[in-house]
Amino acid sequence: MFWSFFFFFFFSYTQGHQQPEILLSLSAVESTASLQRVRLSPGEKFLAATVKSDHSEEASCVILKLGDNPAVTHIQRNVFSFEWARDEVLFYTSQSNLRSLHVYCLTFDKGYPETSLVYEEQDSRFFVELWCSKDKKFITINCNSKRNSEVHLINCFCPSRTPVLVQPRTADLIYHVDHRNEELYILANIGPNSEYQLLKTAVSSPSIENWRLIYSPGQSVKLVDMELFDQHCVILARTPQCFYLDCFPLGNVSHSSRIMLPPWACAVEAASELHLKGDVFRFKLSSPVEPPKDFLYSPVKRQLFSEEGFTKKVQTNCTIMHTDARSQDGTLVPMTVFHMGSDRQLTDRPLLVHVYGAYGMDLDMAFKPESRLLLDSGWILAYCHVRGGGELGLAWHAAGCLTKKKNGLDDLKACIVQLFKLGLSQPSLTALTASSAGGVLAGAFCNENPELIRAVVLRAPFLDVLHSMQDPSLALTIEEQEEWGDPAMNSSHRDYIASYCPFKNLRPQTYPSIFITAYEEDQRVPLQSLWSYINRLKDVVATYEEVNGKAGSSSTIILDSYPGIGHSGPTDLKKSIQESARHLAFLYRELGIST
C-alpha cells in the first residue's frame, strides 16, 4: 500500500512542539511522487524511504539523518527494496530494466556514504528482494523465480559477515523465512499437491532435511499469509468461498482456533506488524463493491474486532453468489457474482466479466468505486477464477501455465456460457475486462469466441506473447519463461504459444468492440506492440467486411494512450477518474445502454 500526492510530507512531532515539523517534501525528489516503503533505523538515527514517479518502475531511496536538524544525507537511485541492519548500515537491492539482481551494503559510519556489493544473482530468471525478520535479528535475501526460491540470512548484529544460505535452490521448491528465538519459521510448498506448509528448524541447522512440520492447511485451501508474534502464529487462508484465520500458540500448536472472516470479504490486505512484540494482527477487508474496512485480531484474546467495535454484518441489498462452471476437461471453475435485487429478470441486465489467470496471482477483487457505480446502476459483475491464477493454491496456477495455458481459456468460455445458462445477461449485453497478463486470455477469447461478448476493455494488455517471448532483449523475457515457455529454444513451446497468442491468431471475422488503454512509459507492455495489434485488428476486420460485403463495421476499435505513465497506470486521482470514466462511457455506448 502507498500514498500518492503531488505534495507528500514526513512530519515529526517533538516534545514541546505544537505543530508538526516537516522533514521531507516528496515533490523535491520527484515532480509527481508516490511513497512505497518507509523504515526507521534501529536506534532511530536515520529514516529511509523509497519514492517512485508515475513514469518509471525504478524508485529512489531517500535517507534522512534525524536529530535536532533533520536533513537528507543521501539519495540512492534505482532501489527496489531495503532494510536497516543497524544505525548507519543499510542493505538495498538495485533495480535496472525491471530486474533486481544485486544486493549492496550502504554505510554511513565514516561520515560519508560508502557502498559495497554483498550478493550478485547469476540467473536472470530470479528476482532479488530484501526483508527483515520480525525480531529484527536477520535480513533475508530472497531470490525468487516463478518456480524456485533461495534465501540467505544477514545477521543484523554482525552485518559484515557473509550471508548464510538456508536451503540451496531446488527444482520446484519455493520457501519464505522468518525468525524467532533462534528458530527459523519456514513457509514452503512441500505439502500435498505441492501446497504451502509451515515448518521450523534451528538457525544452526537451516537446510531442508531438518525442517519440522508444525502446520498444514486442509484440502482446497490456499495459505495466503503468515504473521508471527512473540507467542503466537496467525495464518490467513482462503477457500473459494471465504477467508479465515487460524491462530495457535507457538508452544502448543495443537491448541489452535479458527476465526471465519465476514462472508462478503473478497480481498484482504494485511498490515504487517514490524515488531515481533506486536499484540494484534491488523488487516483490511473489502470486495469489489464494498469499501475497505479495518479489522483487528488479538491472538491472545482470540477475538476479532473492527476498528468501530465488534464486527457487524454489512448491510446491503447486494447479492453475492459463489458458483462453479464445468470446464472442457471436467474441472470445476469457481466464480463470484454480484448483482442488486432479486434473482429474477436478470437476463436483460448488462454483465461485466473479469479475468486474469496468470502468475499464480488472485484476480483483483479489491474495492473500486466504478464497480460499485456499475452495481448500483443495475449491472451484474462476474469474477472468473480460472486456472493460471492463484485462488485455489499453487496447483491451480500450475494447471494454467506453460503448456497448460489454454486451460484458462477453456475455463473462461465455460464461465461465460454458465452465466448465460443461469439466466445472467446475454451476449449482446456482455463485456469482458482484463489488465496486463490477463490480456492473453481476453485477447485469445476474442479470437475464439467473439459471438459471446459485445465489448472488451483492456488496460496495458499483454497480447503478443509469441514475439515477446522470443526476444531476449526485452526486460522480462528470460524471467517469465517459467510462466509462458521458451519459444526461441523449444519448438513445442513455440507451437503451443502460437496456437493461442492473441496477436498471432487475429483473423478476418466479426470482433467485439475493443478499447485498449496504453501507457507510453510502460516498460512491460511497450506501446508499439499495442499499436501493431490495433492496426492488425483493424486490417482483419476490414478484410472480413470487404469479403462479406459488410461496409461499416459495428465494432469500435480504440487505442487510448497516456503520456508519462508506466505499467501500473496513473496514481493521480484525477487522471485515474478520467480513465475510468472513458472506460464506462465506452461500455455504455457499445452495449446500447442509456444513462
pLDDT for residue 137 is more than 90: yes
- Cα separations in angstroms, 264 against 15, 85, 310: 44, 41, 16
Cα distance between residue 54 and residue 34, in whole Å: 8
Q: What is the pLDDT of residues 483-514, one digit of tens each?
A: 999 999 999 999 999 999 999 999 999 999 99
Residue type, 568: S
Cα 477–chain centre separation: 19
Other beta carbons within 10 angstroms of residue 272's beta carbon come to 13
Q: Label residue 70 exposed, middle or buried (CB < 10 Å: 0-12, 13-18, 19+).
A: middle
DSSP 348-397: TS-EEEE----TTPPP--S--HHHHHHHHTT-EEEEE--BTBSTT-HHHH
Helix orientation angle between 438-448 and 406-421, rounded to the nearest 10 degrees? 70
- Report the pLDDT value the prediction gives residue 256, as an integer from 0 to 100: 84
Other Cβ atoms closer than 10 A to 317: 7
Please indicate whether residue 17 is annotated as part of the active site.
no
* Mean pLDDT in residue range 154-175: 96
In whole angstroms, give the CA distance from residue 41 to residue 45: 6
- Rounded to whole angstroms, how far apart are CA atoms 377 and 235? 38
pLDDT in tens, 527-546: 999 999 999 999 999 999 88
Q: Answer whether residue 406 shows pLDDT above 80.
A: yes
The domain ranges of the chain are: 1-131, 317-425
Rounded to an integer, what distance in angstroms lies between the CA atom of residue 20 and that of residue 12?
5
Amino acid at 466: L
| CA–CA gap between residue 394 and residue 387 (Å, rounded) | 10
pLDDT digits (tens, 9 = 90+) for 315-339: 467 999 999 999 999 999 999 999 9
Residue-wise pLDDT for 1-43, tens only, equals: 233 333 344 555 555 555 676 676 666 556 566 778 899 999 9
Q: Pick the catalytic residue: 55, 176, 467, 567?
A: 567
In sequence order, what are the residues at sequence separation of 6 or more whose Cβ sits closer than 8 angstroms to the Cβ of residue 28? Answer: none
In whole angstroms, give the CA distance from residue 287 to residue 552: 41
CA nearest neighbour of 199 among 216, 221, 223, 182 = 216
- Please state, in angstroms and rounded to a whole number, the distance separating the CA atoms of residues 57 and 64: 22
Q: Is 436 considered catalytic here?
A: yes
What's the grid cell of residue 188?
A: 514452503
Residue 173: CB partners within 8 Å, gap ≥ 6? 148, 149, 167, 188, 189, 190, 208
Q: Which of 287, 468, 522, 583 is catalytic?
A: 522
Per DSSP, the three-state class of 318 is strand
Between strands 430-435 and 351-354, the pairing is parallel
What is the dihedral angle through the alpha carbons of 183, 299, 366, 293, rounded to the nearest 10 degrees?
-150
Whether the pLDDT of residue 314 is over 70: the answer is: no
Beta-sheet strand order (sheet of 332-340): 318-326, 332-340, 380-384, 351-354, 430-435, 455-459, 513-519, 557-562
Distance of alpha carbon 435 from alpha carbon 356, whole angstroms? 7
CATH level 2 (architecture), domain 1-131: 7 Propeller (2.130)
pLDDT value at residue 274: 60
Query: CB–CB of 561/569 below 8 Å?
Result: no
Give catalytic status of residue 522 as yes or no. Answer: yes
Whole-number pLDDT of residue 312: 47
CATH of segment(s) 317-425: 3.40.50.1820
Q: For the chain, what is the mean pLDDT?
A: 90
Q: Convert the pLDDT of each residue in 233-251 to its tens digit.
A: 999 999 888 999 999 998 8
Residue range 178-217, pLDDT digits in tens: 999 999 999 999 988 889 999 999 999 999 999 999 999 8
- Choose the catalytic residue: 4, 94, 371, 436: 436
